[in-house]
A and B are shown apart, each in its own frame.
Chain A
Amino acid sequence: MLKAFLTAARGPTVCLGRCFSSEVSGAVSKLAGFSSPPFSTEASLYVHWPYCLKRCSYCNFNKYIPRSDNQDVMLECLQRETETLLKLSQVSRITSVFFGGGTPSLAHPAAIAAVLETVARHAGLSEEAEVTLEVNPTPIGSSKLENFLHAGVNRFSIGVQSLRDDDLKVLGRDHNTQHALQTIAEARRLCPGRVSVDVMFGRPGQSVASWELELDELLSVCDDHVSLYQLTLERGTQLFSQVQKGQLSVPSDDITAVMYESARRILQNRGYLQYEVSNFARNGAISKHNMSYWKASQYLGVGPGAHGRFVPHGEGGVCREARTQTLEPDVWVREVQQRGHGTRRRIPLTHLGLLEEVLVMGLRLIDGITHQHWQLFSPRADLHQILSSSSEVQDLQQTGLLILDDRGLRCSWQGLALMDSMLPTLLLELEAHITQGLQQQARVSGGPHHPGAPAAGQGVWRPTSPRGSSSRPGCPA
């Protein structure tokens, strides 16, 4: 009883903001260019191919070594789930597609084409839409690139990881430096200006000097986009246990910090602008797909273990949900065959939850979060209102790590590397502001009233389920 009453008291408050943005989102989306508004009819699409030929020693991601050739079943299910989720989200345009894995370059190019056709059939997929495929730089992967291009892929992301054969062995990769160089060259020939390379630092036994040299070599062969990642030791991986046992040692935190800084400097000198914590581009070749994550736009996740963030308009939903598909491919296949999708978990995002994601993802960008962008999600509380009075935030500004000005909120060059130390502070301020606002609203709205019975003066408030589906109440407060 008590809980119901609280929800009722809070309901209108949240919806005020949400319904408002929902109504104006169309207009705003045109103004804001490609920074997709939160409640539009657009989304990006992530497709997960769960299979790998071999297990990398550092990887704890959702991947499986296939026991048998089941590409046909997999393809059929990816198509089916794509269709289901497109219908559910009712998006009319897919802005970008990303085939990740696993090793999606193991898929038949025809399979990639079929998924893209499905997208085109059920939603718009324009010619310009970015379609990225993750590629393992093996000779087989390399030989298929042209076919992938014909299938509709227009951007390759190549998992180079290292240009040192010994290190590639330690990492358990199934390619060598020679293969990587050949794949980069082939991809650049096919897709000039739209090739990205992934490279990893903080590897076992790596020194700052060797890293700088290696990065230099890479930059002399690569295209316009580089993603660099620090190797993270994940529990349960082979590498983790090797380091635990003392068989391998990874550089200390201080050393990897130096590696990161020197890489940022080298990339900048070579004309690559850092636009996100791990991403660098020249000639404006930024990844639009990843950008949509950092801008907290909607995205659909298809395939085993894929994640999505979208409003299930198709079943009368009004709030964005965090969705996760079933992890294990065999189970996922069964579920898709039985009910059209393998969504395992769906969590409606609260107003606060959504703003937290906007904050955490947005700060990863070198440009941070602009006031206009924030306003799309939080029309009532701007960043100054939320953060300016906090002495801790002021400290961060004074020490030059964080910038809050007329443009918006962002990390300084130095602050970007320390972002995760600042986020808890910012998240707490946000939470305090939002919950305080809710309490005030509850007081203003005059206490308890029956759910669904709008209080006088709550002009924009309306029943939260337009289709009267009682199973989907308003977004949680």
Chain B
Amino acid sequence: MQLSLIKPQGCATPFLRHLLDFRVYQTRQRSQSCNIACTVIRHRWMKRAPVFCTHITTNKMISTQADKESIDMSKFPVERIRNFSIIAHIDHGKSTLADRLLEITGAITTTDKNKQVLDKLQVERERGITVKAQTASLFYKYQGQTYLLNLIDTPGHVDFSYEVSRSISACQGVLLIVDANQGIQAQTVANFYLAFEAQLTIIPVINKIDLKNADPERVEKQIEKVFDIPTEECIRISAKLGTNVEQVLQEVVKRLPPGVVANIALFGGYLSKGDRIVSAYLGKSYEVNELGLLRPDEHPTDRLYAGQVGYVIAGMKEVKEAQIGDTLYHQKHPVEALPGFKPAKAMVFAGMYPMDQADYSALRSAMEKLTLNDSSVTVQRDSSLALGAGWRLGFLGLLHMEVFNQRLEQEYNASVIVTAPTVPYKAILSSAKLIKEHGKEEITIVNPAQFPDRSVVKEYLEPMVMGTIITPDDYTGKIMSICLNRRGVQKNMVYIDDHRVMMKYLFPLNEIVVDFYDLLKSMSSGYASFDYEDAGYQAAHVIKMDILLNGKPVEELTTIVHKDRAYSAGKAMCERLQDAIPRQMFEIAVQAAIGSKVIARETIKAYKKNVLAKCYGGDITRKMKLLKKQAEGKKKMRYIGTVQVPKDAFINVLKRKDK
């Protein structure tokens, strides 16, 4: 038996839980053997646990779950298991369809309240997005047979394509959802290729046919043209109203190959409660205290057999013990560790520091939990004169960074300073001394503070991406102009139907990483879509720019900019800071500087009057409340010298607004 950990995931579980539970699904297909291999995709732990207790009352745990109905997993041979994933462009209705599928199969009851059932994180519900892939086991009766359908709901935003690719690798097929109104979008294309390259069966589903402007016929034609899938293969549905959703399940059963690859690949073995399993990474052994299915909440069973998605609660004491990519095997049958997943590549780096250095260790613990939970974040210790000890983290994109930050705040109650995101630049060193110091000629710079001076550098390199933009042709002119403005070079342009254009642009990553997506959306009234992939490095003339408040550098805002854009970028930053920082009792000079040379300046004038005229009829309460709120807010201000800066000012400042 073999289990491999790929993806632990923390959820805000309402009840305290000392044990880690693992949600497992298998990643690889094997022929008959006596091993079970399963892959842990996520685990949970108690919210805001200060430490993971080593003494665990497992009995209690089990007894609380004992009343749940047991499912005999041996009833599901491989032939009656299907593993599938839903992939789509953001907002095309993945989570809604998932809700309907859960309802139809009785996993959850049918009510109006089922919205984004699988989106369990607060950040997901607030933003209406899916960040983490989620799994649920569905039982579906078709032609007298009960099938086990393992559904993996995936994120839609470009930042999280890593999550999508991992989900896909565990499936035999995908439902490719396309909005009947919007048609194929950039991520539809990206996701299609992920599934296509993984040689999965693709079932195109045209959603939102209930919309007034729905044009499923046009979308079917697009699908045929772009993906070469016959129009007859498309299923037209309305996930919102439930129209034809049943058909989707039938097609999953009919079209997808059986789920041999699923969860625990049972090669003649099985996993039961009480088994001892060993972590190949740590060499520690654990007893399986509980295991079961996710539908979508935990549903304990006695055993899990081949092809089944489920979770395991073993006696792991610390989050660290559940390492991503680890392989777990039966104690009596040691195996070689399964090859892990290729780690995601960080595109954006930012420093994170505790607001107050006294909170360093609390933040470290929160950070450890969250990074373990989100393996796509890379972590490096970092420290700065102004901000103290902290970390330099690598993210998949800006949304990913914001989500991470929000989860730190919401799930761990941590308060952090986030620095300006930067992309990983490279420098070819010319100084022999530095080359010796680094042991190599080419270094990667993820922290602007460590940007080497021009005098010791032969050449700077910046990361490039190949961007795909799909848009109605009404907006091509505008979009081409903003692409040019972002130093984009057009590589390709084709019509995918009568009105829609697909363009390929080579961009410097730093030009698109912060706000390009938002800009593109607003510029095209939401119609254009965007996705990108890594395209190596190119030589570029880049320089370091500092932002000063009353002469004091704001370390969070130090950025690396292209030389030709330094002046306009500096001016724009100063203008936005001027808007973002509230007036104070003294005048504030906002400056951008390259080295010692100031290239832009704005002034925030001092407050001349700030006092409430009167408290009507002795109503102090209202005024006190306001003042207390301001006092609370002040605690969360960042001080640059004596200047108070609201925490969110910096991130807002970084978002460019092209005119």
Chain B residues 608 to 652 lying within 8 A of chain A, measured CB to CB, are 608-621, 623-624, 627-628, 630-631, 633-635, 642
A423 touches B627 (CB 8 A): yes
Asked whether B605 is an interface residue with its Cβ less than 8 Å from the other chain, the reply is yes
Asked whether A61 is an interface residue with its Cβ less than 8 Å from the other chain, the reply is yes
B618 touches A308 (CB 8 A): yes
Least Cβ–Cβ distance between B97 and chain A, in angstroms: 41
A257 touches B609 (CB 8 A): yes
Chain A residues 341 to 387 lying within 8 A of chain B, measured CB to CB, are 347, 353, 356-357, 360-361, 364
Asked whether A401 is an interface residue with its Cβ less than 8 Å from the other chain, the reply is yes
A229 touches B617 (CB 8 A): no
B642 touches A395 (CB 8 A): yes
A419 touches B635 (CB 8 A): no
Asked whether B365 is an interface residue with its Cβ less than 8 Å from the other chain, the reply is no
Asked whether B535 is an interface residue with its Cβ less than 8 Å from the other chain, the reply is no
Tell me, in angstroms, the Cα distance from A153 to B68 when the chains sit together.
76
Chain B residues 580 to 628 lying within 8 A of chain A, measured CB to CB, are 583-586, 605, 607-621, 623-624, 627-628
Given contacts A395-B642, A399-B585, contact A428 B609 (CB under 8 A): no
Tell me, in angstroms, the Cα distance from A420 to B607 when the chains sit together.
11
Asked whether A253 is an interface residue with its Cβ less than 8 Å from the other chain, the reply is yes
Contact of B619 among A227, A307, A347 (CB under 8 A): A307
Across the interface, which residues of A come within 8 angstroms of B633, CB to CB? 424
Asked whether A32 is an interface residue with its Cβ less than 8 Å from the other chain, the reply is no
Q: How large is the interface on B (under 10, 10 to 19, 20 to 34, 35 or more residues)?
A: 20 to 34
B619 touches A421 (CB 8 A): no
Least Cβ–Cβ distance between B225 and chain A, in angstroms: 49
Q: How large is the interface on A (under 10, 10 to 19, 20 to 34, 35 or more residues)?
A: 35 or more
Tell me, in angstroms, the Cα distance from A361 to B628 when the chains sit together.
14
Across the interface, which residues of B come within 8 angstroms of A324, CB to CB? 621
Across the interface, which residues of A come within 8 angstroms of B608, CB to CB? 253-254, 257-258, 261, 417-418
Tell me, in angstroms, the Cα distance from A356 to B610 when the chains sit together.
19
Chain A residues 251 to 269 lying within 8 A of chain B, measured CB to CB, are 253-254, 256-258, 260-261
Across the interface, which residues of B come within 8 angstroms of A364, CB to CB? 611
Least Cβ–Cβ distance between B21 and chain A, in angstroms: 28
Interface centre among B583, B584, B614, B634 (most CB of A within 10 A): B614
Least Cβ–Cβ distance between A262 and chain B, in angstroms: 12
Interface centre among B605, B609, B613, B621 (most CB of A within 10 A): B609
B620 touches A360 (CB 8 A): yes
Across the interface, which residues of B come within 8 angstroms of A194, CB to CB? none
Tell me, in angstroms, the Cα distance from A305 to B618 when the chains sit together.
11
Across the interface, which residues of A come within 8 angstroms of B634, CB to CB? 424-425, 428
Least Cβ–Cβ distance between B215 and chain A, in angstroms: 39
Residue in chain B with minimal CB distance to A324: B621
Across the interface, which residues of B come within 8 angstroms of A278, CB to CB? 613-614
Residue in chain A with minimal CB distance to B618: A307
Tell me, in angstroms, the Cα distance from A383 to B50 when the chains sit together.
38
Given contacts A322-B621, A423-B627, A428-B635, contact A253 B616 (CB under 8 A): no
Across the interface, which residues of A come within 8 angstroms of B605, CB to CB? 254
B613 touches A277 (CB 8 A): yes
Asked whether A427 is an interface residue with its Cβ less than 8 Å from the other chain, the reply is yes
Contact of A229 among B614, B618, B630 (CB under 8 A): B614
Tell me, in angstroms, the Cα distance from A306 to B615 when the chains sit together.
12
Across the interface, which residues of B come within 8 angstroms of A230, CB to CB? 609, 613
Across the interface, which residues of B come within 8 angstroms of A418, CB to CB? 585, 607-611
Least Cβ–Cβ distance between A403 and chain B, in angstroms: 15
Given contacts A229-B613, A420-B611, contact A307 B631 (CB under 8 A): no
Across the interface, which residues of B come within 8 angstroms of A357, CB to CB? 620, 624
Contact of A421 among B584, B621, B628 (CB under 8 A): B584
Given contacts A277-B611, A395-B642, A421-B607, contact A293 B618 (CB under 8 A): yes
Across the interface, which residues of B come within 8 angstroms of A361, CB to CB? 620
Least Cβ–Cβ distance between A103 and chain B, in angstroms: 13
Asked whether A214 is an interface residue with its Cβ less than 8 Å from the other chain, the reply is no
Least Cβ–Cβ distance between A263 and chain B, in angstroms: 11
B616 touches A256 (CB 8 A): no
Least Cβ–Cβ distance between A292 and chain B, in angstroms: 9
Across the interface, which residues of B come within 8 angstroms of A309, CB to CB? 618, 620
Asked whether A48 is an interface residue with its Cβ less than 8 Å from the other chain, the reply is yes
Interface centre among A258, A260, A421 (most CB of B within 10 A): A421
Tell me, in angstroms, the Cα distance from A427 to B586 when the chains sit together.
20
Residue in chain B with minimal CB distance to A353: B624
A253 touches B609 (CB 8 A): yes
B611 touches A417 (CB 8 A): yes
A100 touches B617 (CB 8 A): yes
Residue in chain B with minimal CB distance to A47: B617
Across the interface, which residues of B come within 8 angstroms of A261, CB to CB? 608-609
Least Cβ–Cβ distance between A277 and chain B, in angstroms: 5
Asked whether A301 is an interface residue with its Cβ less than 8 Å from the other chain, the reply is yes
Asked whether A117 is an interface residue with its Cβ less than 8 Å from the other chain, the reply is no
Asked whether A431 is an interface residue with its Cβ less than 8 Å from the other chain, the reply is yes
B617 touches A48 (CB 8 A): yes
Asked whether A143 is an interface residue with its Cβ less than 8 Å from the other chain, the reply is no
- Interface digits, A213-235 against B, CB 8 Å rule (1 contact, 0 not)? 00000000000000101101000
Least Cβ–Cβ distance between A32 and chain B, in angstroms: 21
Asked whether A46 is an interface residue with its Cβ less than 8 Å from the other chain, the reply is yes
Given contacts A230-B613, A431-B631, contact A421 B585 (CB under 8 A): yes
Least Cβ–Cβ distance between A473 and chain B, in angstroms: 22
Least Cβ–Cβ distance between B493 and chain A, in angstroms: 43
B609 touches A301 (CB 8 A): no
Asked whether A299 is an interface residue with its Cβ less than 8 Å from the other chain, the reply is yes
Asked whether A416 is an interface residue with its Cβ less than 8 Å from the other chain, the reply is yes
B612 touches A420 (CB 8 A): yes
Across the interface, which residues of A come within 8 angstroms of B611, CB to CB? 277, 364, 416-420
Least Cβ–Cβ distance between A55 and chain B, in angstroms: 16
Tell me, in angstroms, the Cα distance from A220 to B656 when the chains sit together.
56
Least Cβ–Cβ distance between B649 and chain A, in angstroms: 17
Tell me, in angstroms, the Cα distance from A361 to B642 when the chains sit together.
26
Residue in chain B with minimal CB distance to A411: B611
Interface centre among B624, B634, B635 (most CB of A within 10 A): B624
Across the interface, which residues of B come within 8 angstroms of A301, CB to CB? 617-618
Given contacts A418-B607, A427-B628, contact A307 B585 (CB under 8 A): no
Tell me, in angstroms, the Cα distance from A324 to B608 when the chains sit together.
34
Contact of B627 among A229, A260, A299, A427 (CB under 8 A): A427
Residue in chain B with minimal CB distance to A277: B611
Least Cβ–Cβ distance between B139 and chain A, in angstroms: 44
Residue in chain B with minimal CB distance to A401: B585
Tell me, in angstroms, the Cα distance from A418 to B583 when the chains sit together.
12
Residue in chain A with minimal CB distance to B616: A61
B615 touches A232 (CB 8 A): no
Least Cβ–Cβ distance between A67 and chain B, in angstroms: 23
Tell me, in angstroms, the Cα distance from A256 to B613 when the chains sit together.
12
Least Cβ–Cβ distance between A6 and chain B, in angstroms: 19
Least Cβ–Cβ distance between B616 and chain A, in angstroms: 5
Across the interface, which residues of A come within 8 angstroms of B642, CB to CB? 395
Tell me, in angstroms, the Cα distance from A424 to B585 when the chains sit together.
13
B615 touches A260 (CB 8 A): no
Least Cβ–Cβ distance between B629 and chain A, in angstroms: 9
A417 touches B610 (CB 8 A): yes
Least Cβ–Cβ distance between B73 and chain A, in angstroms: 43
A399 touches B616 (CB 8 A): no
B624 touches A424 (CB 8 A): no
B609 touches A256 (CB 8 A): yes
Q: Could you name 30 residue pairs across A and B whose Cβ atoms are closer than 8 Å?
A: A46-B617, A46-B618, A48-B617, A229-B614, A230-B609, A253-B583, A253-B607, A253-B608, A254-B605, A254-B608, A256-B609, A258-B608, A277-B611, A277-B612, A306-B618, A307-B617, A322-B621, A356-B624, A356-B628, A357-B624, A360-B623, A360-B624, A361-B620, A418-B611, A419-B610, A420-B612, A421-B585, A421-B607, A423-B630, A425-B634
- 13 new A-B contacts, CB < 8 A, other than A360-B627, A423-B631, are A48-B617, A261-B609, A305-B617, A307-B617, A356-B627, A395-B642, A399-B585, A401-B585, A417-B610, A417-B611, A418-B610, A425-B631, A427-B631
Rank and list the top 4 A-B pairs by shortest CB-CB distance, nearest first.
A257-B608, A257-B609, A229-B613, A424-B631
